[in-house]
Amino acid sequence: MKFSKSAKMAAASILATALLIVIILSVRNKGFDSIEVIDLLQYFIFIPLLTFVFYYMFSKKFDEFNKRFERIEKQFDRMTSKLESEERSLVGEEKTLRSEISDLKTAIKSLDKSIIKMKAK
């Protein structure tokens, strides 16, 4: 499954927004009633930078994972096609063996009839 760059950026910005909310809530929980403008500017500089770092790290790891997953998927497809061809050949061999068994049964019946006729003479 591949994600577009815009989807990746949207996910990164959602993470950044969630991080901003966590930071704001943690600052408020420390006893500060209001956040100063300088703190907000620091957060708005820090959050996009952090977003870029997360995006870069996650996109790189995601690309590595995606390539690995595609290789595994190709190997699985090759193994599946190989198993399907073996199954077809085994089904063909099974049909051949059944026809040979049927021919042998017919030959045995004719031999039994011949033996019975010979004993009757």
| Confidence (pLDDT) at 55 | 74
- Percent of the chain whose pLDDT exceeds 70: 76
Model pLDDT for residues 12-64, shown as the tens digit of each residue? 777 777 777 777 767 666 655 555 655 666 666 777 777 777 777 777 777 78
Model pLDDT for residues 63-112, shown as the tens digit of each residue? 788 899 899 999 999 999 999 999 988 888 888 999 999 999 999 999 88
Look up residue 31 and give its DSSP letter: T
Q: What is the pTM of this model?
A: 0.42
What does the angle CA 41 – CA 46 – CA 61 come to, to the nearest 5 degrees? 160
User: Which residues, 6 or more positions from 58, have their beta carbon under 8 angstroms from its beta carbon?
Assistant: 8, 11, 12
Q: Kindly tell me the burial class for residue 72, based on how many C-beta atoms sit within 10 Å of its own C-beta (0-12, 13-18, 19 or more).
A: exposed
Quick one: tokens of 93? 């061999």
